[in-house]
């Protein structure tokens, strides 16, 4: 199982050519190994849709329904364990979504698919 950050989720579902070769190979295995996403990624996508900076050709509810219908993507809710782990990260990165995604990956001990160099510089299990 892998954890997808928000951009990796969008690219996997909408623009797979944007993924690196390693990330695409990992994503091609999702139907066998499964994937997880932090629920904060849905919030990030929703914010971008509301601002008009992202068009997914569907409503956010429709997008989530399609994800769930795949049967291989676990949407990880943010609970107190994740918030505490977020706050305990010894990392100066201020983006709460990125911190939450990294905390989720750490707690679940999962490789994280992300292009973000700041995350890759902090979290050792990045796939890109």
Q: Print pLDDT tens along the chain (128 aa).
A: 999 999 999 999 999 999 999 999 999 999 999 999 999 999 999 999 999 999 999 999 999 999 999 999 999 999 999 999 999 999 999 899 999 999 999 999 999 999 999 999 999 999 99
Question: Smallest Cα–Cα separation from 108: which of 40, 35, 30?
Answer: 35
**Spatial contact of 64 and 42, defined as CB atoms under 8 Å apart:** yes
* Phi, psi for residue 96 in degrees, rounded to 5: -65, -30
**14 token code pair:** 């909408």
pLDDT, position 53: 97
Collect all residues with Cβ–Cβ distance below 8 Å to 50 and sequence separation of at least 6: none
At which residue do the structure tokens 């900076």 appear?
Answer: 53
- Domains of the chain, first to last: 2-127 (3.40.50.1010)
Would you say 76 and 38 are in contact if contact means Cβ atoms under 8 Å apart? yes
Rounded CA gap, 97 and 88, in Å? 15
């Amino acid at each position: 199982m892998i954890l997808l950050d928000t951009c990796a989720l969008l690219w996997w579902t909408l623009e797979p050519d944007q993924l690196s070769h390693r990330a695409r190979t990992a994503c091609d295995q999702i139907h066998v190994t499964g994937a997880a996403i932090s629920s904060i990624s849905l919030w990030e996508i929703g914010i971008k849709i509301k601002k008009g900076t992202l068009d997914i050709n569907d409503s956010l509810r429709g997008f989530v329904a399609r994800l769930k219908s795949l049967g291989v993507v676990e949407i990880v809710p943010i609970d107190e364990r994740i918030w505490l782990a977020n706050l305990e990260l010894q990392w100066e990165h201020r983006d709460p979504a990125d911190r939450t995604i990294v905390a989720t990956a750490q707690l679940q001990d999962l490789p994280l698919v992300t292009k973000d160099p700041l995350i890759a510089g902090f979290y050792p299990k990045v796939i890109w």
